[in-house]
Amino acid sequence: MTIQPEFSHTVAVDSLIPDKPRAARFAATDAECAALARRFDLQSLSGLTADLTVTRLSDGNIIKIEGNFSAEVVQTCVVSLQGVPAEIRAHLDTYFTEDGKEGFDEDLPADAGMEDEFPDTVMQNGQLDLGELVAQYLALELDPYPRAPGVSLAAQLAGTGGEQPNRPFQALKKLKADEDE
């Protein structure tokens, strides 16, 4: 099964020469940013750029990808639902084997079955998708619980500042009193 990522910039693995780094600089279009914003449940995403270096190491089977990426995002506050703007600037440094395995997970048994459940979207058909790699690292950089400045969960739970605090069991107490009569 081939999955077409929203932000795709591929490099043919066969074209990488050992110990000869290849620079890859690219930016997401407005349509790609909009698609990624939907994927990551963002209010908006803009200015996604990447400056990476791809190197096949001298042993020939390991590919190193290193570089920086940046983007401007607006996430939804988990308390007030207001927009929370953030500027993301991050570094990535990872390795792939030529058969598409990221990192060096010797701890996983060969029959773990992860390939079937989660198909590889970065390495497919001899192509290394640097755009999808950047998108996945961007997802890791997003704040899982964004909050707007000055917003407090305690203040939201206490109500809007009225005389009576919000007491949900008051309604049950009234129902019980009506029932006893």
pLDDT at 172: 73
171 phi and psi, to 5 degrees?
Answer: -65, -40
pLDDT at 114: 42
pLDDT at 95: 92
pLDDT at 151: 77
pLDDT at 112: 44
Intervals of the chain under pLDDT 70:
1-3, 99-120, 153-167, 178, 180-181
Rg (CA), the chain: 24
Predicted TM-score of the model (pTM): 0.73
pLDDT at 157: 63
| Cα-to-chain-centroid distance, residue 146 | 14
